[in-house]
Structure 1
Amino acid sequence: MKTVGIITIHGICNFGSLLQAYATQKVVESLGYAPQIINYKYPNDYHQKESQKHSPYARVNYSFFQRVRLAIYGRILGKHNSDKRHALYEKERTALLYLTEEYPNQASLHSKPPLFDIYLTGSDQVWNPRYMYSDCTYMLNFIHNVPKIAYSASFGTTNLTNEYKDLYKSLLNEYVSISMREQSGVGMIKAICGKESTCTCDPTLLLSGEEWADLFGEKPLVNGEYILCYILTYTANPYPYASAFISHIQTHLKKKVVILDELGRYWMDFRYKSFQSAGPREIVNLFKNAAFIISSSFHGAAFSINFKKDFYSLFPADVKDERQESLLKIVGAEDRFIHVGDPFPEPSAFRICDWDSISVKLAAYRQKSIDYLIKALGDAAKLTK
């Protein structure tokens, strides 16, 4: 049995990152290979130092009142919630992933890289210079003269400077096969190194909603029907529009609101129920059992679609989210994308009328993606010694 070393973003406290790593591992294993996740620590000291040197791409501008609330609740609840959340993620990470020994930095990987027959760059924003800077570990620069493939990798942007294009070119040319999570990434690969690639689905969509439900099959964490709100602000801040949007949806649906965000209660209505220290198991449970979902997260949209939930995806008007837009277009759910500042949708538009069409397109997208993996792994296996 051929071994496959998978490198992806798996160690942060983000449910999408952890579960996409698990899904990649699971599907590769189901195809007859022996996968293992290369346990590269991200972020490590290098990324933290670079982050301090560079100005953030997007800052969240809080009002004075919000800053006061953040300071108060951060001191009282922040560390407790953070420690609890980290413990939940570590528990699931250990249970779900086949991990190598930990590699705490680039030097440790280069000095003694783990040995596999095939190396696979996984999904998430593994090639985004905003987060990786000049660290090309996720382009497998620590190993050479071995078969390399990429599955649903993402630049997370449509703009790369010439500095990064030059840095990436030679490394991308070492890949036998490349697939990208966004259609824009396909064009970028062609422009950077001249290679052909294809667009495949996020790994979490390789598994059906039923498979995710079976994995985390537990009774609902919240009794009764509820609107789940998963609003992230580390890339862009959809508030205060998001607050008004949530109120608009609740007014018409007349259901309780559940906030899934460690910062959510700092500026949201305190009447809303808040989960500030949820792990991946709890998050999937909340998505699975929600009556309606409002999210600003790519994986929020992905799980909404996989569980066939009526939803809206929010994003600031001045920031293009190619990740969500690409997914919604492929499955025919473009009307679910709401830009900050857009008029609120009428109640008659809340429900998705044609889930059958979306499900058919998702199934085709999933099968195309699995077919890519079968061929890419097969071609790579033929090149092994």
Structure 2
Amino acid sequence: MADIGILTFQNTLNFGASLQCYALYNVIQQMGFDVQVINYNNPIIATREFLVPDRGLKSVIKVMLNKPKARKFEAFLHRMNVSPSCDKSNFKEIANQYDGIVVGSDQVWNPECTGYDTTYFLDLVDSPIVKLSYAASIGLNHFPDCGIDYGALLGQFSSLLVREKTASEEISRYVDKPINIVLDPTLLLSLDSWKNIVQIPRSVRGKRYVLVYSISESELSLRAARRIAKEKNLEIVFIQQYKFNRVKDAINMRNISPEEFVGLFLGADVAVVSSFHGLCFSIISGTDFLYASDSGKSSRASRLLDLMTLLGIERRSVSDYFNGEMIPLNWDQVFSKLDNERIRSRNALTNSLGLVRSSQAN
């Protein structure tokens, strides 16, 4: 029996989701708790990640093409203590083993992402199990009006730690209790901790390159990467998350592991990103970076901008680069602010987990 269960997106082929789970697991373990990742199966997520096929031949083909990547992600998941697989029918049975459950990080409270699955609000969990969140994200400016009683569900949480200001403001409309903003778990681990798991893909060993990790705005990101590569005499390395098309003038990374993903950021001269976790690993590794904002996804852009503002980073967009308005990164300042935020976020998590210790003593 573990002290703490973590409920997050573990059945995934998303690099950021997998790595934030690993980071939170390790941080809680470092704090002296016996911790386990709850191996919860959300069918909507499994289908979206092409872990299982949807209807149609195209979906079946994508699942087959993802098999090598899926095996690597499964191996990475088992770097952690993982519960038996469960779904809604037996989630409560698994949950009853823990003294406390931490929900997060990532967009666990985005109903549109989870298929309106209230399991991520721990609706199936009863007292005396302590309900906590860490860096939980809504991923939207507002909860969708879909019949979920957010106030009742969130009111059951003993501690609410969220990742973004927008989440804090939205949740405060439903509950009258403190809501603290904390760092994404990936940012809680030091660079040395991440180096312990790094793997370098064979195709980039000994090469200097600009790394492109783009969930959106791929053409804009690639246009910037091509110009940087020409200026600095670098090759282009392109990480494909969900798409199956190849970039002709790049080293394409399709079925890589989470460990290789981290290695690519640590080895890059420059990174061009449009994802939140792409930004996180650029900062962790101290890699010079640009970001490409998605004009159609204001919530995604705000996540990147909120983190950069917190760390004193300005004018690092692709537009700033093309307009000659980019401001050089002051890494001493960035790392100093990051250290302070790590201490604050770790203290917040320590205080939350203290509620579990108190329940164990009673």
Alignment TM-score > 0.5, same fold: yes
Residue 333 (structure 2) aligned to one of 334, 354, 357 = 357
Matched, 1:129 2:129: no
Separation of aligned partners in 2, 1:314 and 1:329: 16
Does the 8 A contact of 2:4 with 2:98 survive in 1?
yes
Change in 2 beyond 3 A, CA 1:37/1:93: same
Partner Cα separation in structure 2 for residue 239 and residue 203 of structure 1: 26
Describe how 1:251-330 pairs up with structure 2 within 5 A: 251-261=230-240, 266=245, 268=247, 270-320=248-298, 321=300, 322-330=302-310
Counterpart of 1:88 (choices 67, 72, 75) is 72
Cα gap change, 1:365/1:330 in structure 2, threshold over 3 Å: closer, same or farther? same
What is the aligned-residue RMSD (CA, Å)? 2.6
Q: How far is 1:4 from its partner?
A: 0.6
Relative to structure 1, is the Cα distance of residues 267 and 352 closer, same or farther in structure 2, using a 3 angstrom cutoff?
A: same
Distance 2:285 2:260 in 1: 15
Match of 1:149 among 118, 127, 132: 132
Against the structure 1 CA distance between its residues 265 and 150, is the aligned structure 2 distance closer, same or farther, given a 3 Å change threshold?
closer
Q: What SS does the corresponding residue of 1:179 show, helix, strand or coil?
A: strand
Letter in 2 for 1:324: L
SS at match of 2:106: coil
Name structure 1 gaps, 5 residues minimum. Answer: 50-70
Counterpart of 2:348, as a letter, is: Y
Q: Please say if residues 252 and 347 of structure 1, whose CA atoms lie closer than 8 Å, have aligned partners that are also in contact.
A: no
Q: Select which of 207, 210, 213 maps to 1:224.
A: 207
Q: Equivalent residue for 1:19?
A: 19
State whether residues 152 and 179 of structure 1, in contact with CA within 8 Å, keep that contact through their aligned partners in structure 2: yes
Counting aligned pairs with the same residue, the percent is 25
Report how far residue 334 of structure 1 moved: 3.5
Tell me if the contact between 2:4 and 2:100 (Cα under 8 Å) persists in the aligned partners: yes
Contact 1:149–1:380 under 8 Å retained in 2: no
Aligned counterpart, 1:176: 158
Aligned partner of 2:108: which letter? V
- 2:272 partner SS: strand
Alignment partner, residue 174 of structure 2: 192
Change (3 A) 1:344 1:218: closer
**Superposed, which structure 2 residues align to 1:195-206 within 5 Å?**
195-206=177-188
Partner in structure 2 of residue 116 of structure 1: 98
2:322 to 345, 352, 368: 345
SS in 1 for 2:85: strand
Matching of residues 43-58 of structure 1 within 5 Å: 44=43
Shift >4 Å, 4+ stretches:
45-49, 78-81, 217-221, 262-265
How far the C-alpha of 1:220 sits from its partner, in A, is 7.0
TM-score normalized with structure 2 length: 0.88
Pairs aligned (count): 347
Give the 3 Å change call, closer, same or farther, for CA 262–359 of structure 1 in structure 2: closer
2:66 alignment partner AA:
S
Matched with 1:102 is 85
Relative to structure 1, the CA distance from residue 122 to residue 211 in structure 2 (aligned partners, 3 Å threshold; closer, same or farther) is: same
Q: Show CA shifts across 1:271-297 (max 9, x none).
A: 211111111111111111011001111
Q: Secondary structure at the match of 1:299?
A: helix
Q: How far apart are 1:123 and its partner, in Å?
A: 0.2
The answer on 1:367 being equivalent to 2:347 is no
Secondary structure of the equivalent of 1:215? coil
Which consecutive residues of structure 2, in runs of 5 or more, have no partner in the other structure? 49-57
The alpha-carbon distance between structure 1 residues 259 and 126, as it changes in their structure 2 partners (threshold 3 A), is same
User: Relative CO higher for 1 or 2, CA cutoff 8 Å, sep ≥ 6?
Assistant: 1
Residue 379 of structure 1 aligns to which amino acid in structure 2?
Answer: L
Deviation at 1:347, TM superposition (A): 6.5
Shift of 1:244: 2.1
Q: Relative to structure 1, is the Cα distance of residues 137 and 263 closer, same or farther in structure 2, using a 3 angstrom cutoff?
A: closer
Q: Which amino acid aligns with 1:246?
A: A
